[in-house]
Structure 1
Amino acid sequence: MERIGDAYVSVRVMFLTQTVVGILGNLYLLYRYLFLSCKGNRMRGIDLILRHLIVANVLCLLCRSIPQTMLAWGWRDFLSDLGCKLVSYVYRVGKGVVIGSTCSLSIFQAVSISPGASRWARLKGRAHKHIVSMVYLSWGVSLLVNAAFLMYITGPKIHDNVTTLKAIGYCSSVRHNPAAAVLYVALLSVPDVLCLGLMLWASISMLFILYTHKQTMKHIQRTSVSCRASPESRAAKSILLLTSTFVSFYTLSCICQICLSVTYNPSPVLLRIPTP
C-alpha cells in the first residue's frame, strides 16, 4: 500500500511539474518573440509559425494539463457543463493548430533548404505569404471541425445511475455505439492525418536534399577531414529523430483516443494520457 501511495504522489508531482514548467517555458518564449517584434526586428516566416505554435501549446496546457493536475490532486467536479465544453473545445483546437503549425514548419524548412533547380525552389519567393495562409487556415479548420465535439461533452457525471453518460476524468461524454464512436474519431482526425502526411513528405524531401548535397560535395572534401559526421548527416539524424518521435507519439495518442471512445468505463491510466 505504501508503494501505491508513493507512486500516486509521484504522479501528482509529475503532473504539477510538467504543467508549471510547460506554461512558464512557453510564456517566456512568447514574451521573447513579442519583445523582438516590439523592438522593430523583422520577423521571419519561421518566427510567425513558432509564435502560433507557442500560443497553441499554451492553450493546450491551460485547458488540459491544469484540469488533469487538479484532478490528480483530488479536486472533483470543479467544472460546470459550460466549463467542460469550453475547456475540451479549446484544447482540441489547440491540438489541431499544434499539428498544423508543425506541418507548416516542416514545409517551410524543406522550401528553405531546397536547391535552385528543385520544385520546392519555386515557392521560395512566396514562402512567407503561403506560410501565413497555412497557419491561419489551420486555426480556421480546427475551429470548425471541432465544433461538433461540443455536442458530446457535458459536465461531470455526478450520479452513477445516469447510463447515458460516461465519466472521462473531470468531465463526461455522451455514450454512443462503438462503431459510431470510431467513425466519429476517424472523421475528426482527417485534417490531422493530412498534416501528418504532408509533414512526412516534407521530411523525406529534406532527407533527399541533404543526401544529394552530401554526394555533390564529396569531390571537394579534403582527405584530412576528421572522422566527425558531416553537417548533412547530423541534420538528417535530427530530422529522423524529431519526425519519428512526433509520429510515434501521435499514433499512440490516436490509439488511446479510440480506446477511450469505445470503452464505457475507461481506466484512470487511460484518462490521464493526452489524446489528439
Structure 2
Amino acid sequence: MAASDVAVGIIFLSQTVVGVLGNSFLLLHYLVLYFTGHRVKPTDLILKHLIVANLLTLLCKGVPQTIEAFSLEFSLSDIECKLLFYVHRVGRCMSIGSTCLLSIFQAITISPRDSSCSELKVKAPRYIGTSLCLSCILYMLINIIILMYMTRKWNNTTMTTLKDFGYCSSFHRDITTVTLFAALLLFPDAVCVGLMLWASSSMVLTLHRHKQRMQHIQKTISPRFSPESRATKTILLLVSTFVSFYTLSCISQVCLTVIYNPNLFLVNMAAIVSGCFPAVSPLLLMSRDASASRFCFSWIENRKSPVLMMNM
C-alpha cells in the first residue's frame, strides 16, 4: 500500500470518526432535552434535521471511502451503489436546506418590530416542520435521477462507458444530458445559497444597527451577551463555514462531471471536501453552545469513571 493511500485513508477515517461522534453527541443532547421536558427552541428542530443529514452524508461517503483508501476487500452490488449515492446526495441536499432554513428563521427572529418581517415572527415557528418535510420530499424526488446513473464497480477495464469512483461506477452520458443533469441538481442548491447570503447580510445589518443604537443608551449588559445576539453569531459562523466548503465542493463536483475519466486524486479530494462541513459543524455548534459542551464532557466523564473505579 502506497504512503499516499495511507494518508488519504487516515484523513477519511479521522473526518468520519470526528464527524459521527460530534453529530451523535449533539443529537443525543437535543433528544435528552426533548424527553426531559426542557423548553425546546424553534431552531432545535432544524438543528436535529441538520445533524441527521450530516450523519447520512458522513456514513454514506466517509465509510466506503475509508475502506477503499486502505485497499480493504469489499464489494457492493448494483442496488447498494445506487442507494449509497442516493442517500448521500439526499443527505447533502438536506444539509443545505436545513442550513438555509436556519439562517432565514434567525433573520426573521431578530428583525426589528417595524420591519416587513414583523408579522412572520409569530407565524414562522409553525411552518418549520412543514418546510423541512417539503424540502426533504423535493430533494428525494430530484435525486431519483442518481439511481439511473450509478452502478456497481466493474472489473472489466475495457468498458469505456463507465466512470470509476473507486467502489462504484457511473454511466457516461452525452454532454447535453450531463449539462441538464447538473443544472437540475445545482439549481435548488444555488437558490438555497442565495437565500443564505441574503439572510446573513440581513442579520449582519440588524446586529450593526442594534450595536449603534446601544451606543447611545447606557446599559449595564452589553448586547453581545444577549441570547439572540449569541445565537445569531453562531448561525452566521455556521453559514459562512458552509458556504466556503460548499463552494469548494461545487468546484470539485463540476470537475468530476466534466472530466471524462477523473483520476483517483480528484475523486478523493472531492469526497474529502464534501465531508468537511458535516464533520466541522457539530464542533462549531458545541463551541458556541455551553449546554451542549457540558453535556458532551459530562458524558465522557461518566464513561471514564467506572473504568477508574475498577482500576482503583
Q: TM-score, normalised by structure 1?
A: 0.88
Alpha carbons 2:99, 2:239 under 8 Å: kept: no
| Correspondence for 2:62 | 65
Alpha carbons 1:178, 1:261 under 8 Å: kept: no
| CA shift for structure 1 position 6 | 3.9
Greater RCO (CA < 8 Å, at least 6 residues apart): 2
| Correspondence for 2:264 | 268
Match of 1:132 among 117, 129, 136: 129
| Correspondence for 1:102 | 99
Alpha carbons 1:111, 1:124 under 8 Å: kept: yes
| Correspondence for 1:30 | 27
Do the aligned partners of residues 163 and 145 (structure 1) sit closer, same or farther apart at CA in structure 2, a change above 3 Å counting? same
Q: TM-score, normalised by structure 2?
A: 0.79
Match of 1:189, SS?
helix
Question: In the alignment, is residue 198 of structure 1 matched against residue 170 of structure 2?
Answer: no
| Correspondence for 1:257 | 253
Match of 1:215, SS?
helix
Match of 2:80 among 73, 80, 83: 83
Matches within 5 A, 1:176-255: 176-221=173-218, 242-255=238-251
> Structure 2 stretches of 5 or more lacking a match?
275-312
> Structure 1 stretches of 5 or more lacking a match?
none
Match of 2:119, SS?
helix
Do the aligned partners of residues 101 and 235 (structure 1) sit closer, same or farther apart at CA in structure 2, a change above 3 Å counting? closer
| CA shift for structure 1 position 196 | 0.9
Alpha carbons 1:182, 1:258 under 8 Å: kept: no
- Count of residue correspondences: 269
**1:174-205 CA deviation, whole Å, 9 max, x = no partner?**
01123431331121111111111111111111
> What CA distance in whole angstroms lies between the structure 2 residues aligned with 1:27 and 1:114?
32
| CA shift for structure 1 position 5 | 4.2
Seq. identity, %: 51
Match of 2:83, SS?
helix
RMSD across aligned C-alpha pairs, in angstroms?
Answer: 2.6
| Correspondence for 1:119 | 116
Matches within 5 A, 1:3-22: 5-22=2-19
| Correspondence for 2:47 | 50
Alpha carbons 1:157, 1:166 under 8 Å: kept: no
**1:216-257 CA deviation, whole Å, 9 max, x = no partner?**
2222258xx9xx996799988766654443222212211211
| Correspondence for 2:157 | 160
Between 175-184 and 132-141, the greater mean CA deviation after superposition: 175-184
Alpha carbons 1:45, 1:132 under 8 Å: kept: no
